[in-house]
Amino acid sequence: MKVGIIGAGAVGSACLLSLVTGQVAREIVLVNRTRARAEGMVADLQYGATLGTTVDLTAGDYADLKGADVVLITAGVNEKDGGATDRDDTDGRLRLLEENAKVYRDIVPQIVAAAPDAVLLVVTDPPDPLAELALNLAGHDKVVSSGTFLDTQRLKFHVARYLGVHASAVEGLVLGEHGTSQVFVWSSVRIAGIPLMDVLGYGEEQCEKFQKEIEEEVRHANITIIEGTGASQLGIGVVAARLTRAILYDERLVLPVGSHVPEYGTTLSVPSIVGRQGIVRRLTPHLSESEKQLLAESARKIAQSMKDAC
């Protein structure tokens, strides 16, 4: 199985490392606008890769993507360089859209020309409107945004840490935009099937305070990371590799990832069955009335960003 990665920056390198250590693919091609950087990264990792299953690592050009099953797109300006690290900025990652849309208009046609059957996995921020743009540029519907998969894992982590349980015991979803308008589906959060609020045993005021604190942690986790390390990369690398495996092996996992949702007229994250062709089927989550409104608002925000920037 063959995977391509476009972009050898912080996120691209994290995706490459996670794909190799996770033993996800038999062949990986790394494409970067500066070929020397891709070659150096491959040279560095190929020695450690000998400790796992056989994998061919190549620094190549777009033509070398021929036969790829999945292509991860990570290229573009990041949050720090793009000025998207202000907690009070309601645009958040969407501030990067105009610049990164230019990159995608150049990249996507070249990918499709070399690997017309590949599933395109959009990882660059902001992934949702960029996936919508990639869908239009690619001329096919095998386009997936990493969406709120990572946000959902962050939600599970913080709830689990608060309760002192393993994150696998937490059932929960973050939907909509991978950004400031993301929707926390508190109405369906469960701990081993038990409603979260029953486990907490809190009154309404305490519950609201708890939810707000968790939302702040999750919504601005990327900024906290960037303030410490300069780039939010490792978590998304692991998530992107896991999503790639689900596609390659037709796992039919149900994940909160982004694709074009006709009901909303744009790309956003909803629970989706992920398989060999990308999105096999989108599921309709049970939402409270307020959550329905927030998801619709998130969709409108993504759609409007497309109109403004693209």
Domain boundary residue among 112, 145, 178? 145
Longest dimension (CA), the chain: 60
Low-confidence ranges of the chain (pLDDT < 50): none
Examine the fold and report which residue of 145, 174, 206 is the final residue of a domain before the chain moves on.
Answer: 145
pLDDT at residue 81 in the model: 84
Helix ranges (H only) for 115-192 are: 127-138, 149-163
178 catalytically annotated: yes
Which structural domain, as residue segments, surrounds residue 181?
A: 149-309
Looking at the fold, whether 10 and 140 belong to one and the same domain comes out as yes
Query: Which of 115, 145, 175 marks a domain boundary?
Result: 145
Number of domains the chain contains:
2
Pair (210, 132) in one structural domain: no
Does 280 lie in the same domain as 192?
yes
For residues 197 and 288, membership in a common domain is answered with yes
141 and 153 assigned to the same domain: no
> What pairs with residue 279 in β-bridges?
274
CATH (domain of 267): 3.90.110.10
State whether 130 and 200 are in the same domain. Answer: no
pLDDT at 150: 98
In this structure, the answer to whether residues 126 and 160 fall within a common structural domain is no
pLDDT at 310: 64
What is the CB neighbour count within 10 angstroms for residue 230? 12
Q: Which of 140, 166, 178, 286 is an active site residue? A: 178
- The phi, psi pair for 188, rounded to 5°, reads -115, 10
Q: What DSSP letter does each residue of 264-291 carry, written as one string?
A: TTEEEEEEEEEETTEEEEE------HHH
Sheet containing strand 190-191, edge to edge, reads 170-171, 190-191, 194-195
CATH code at position 78? 3.40.50.720
Q: How far apart are CA 47 and CA 43, in angstroms?
A: 7
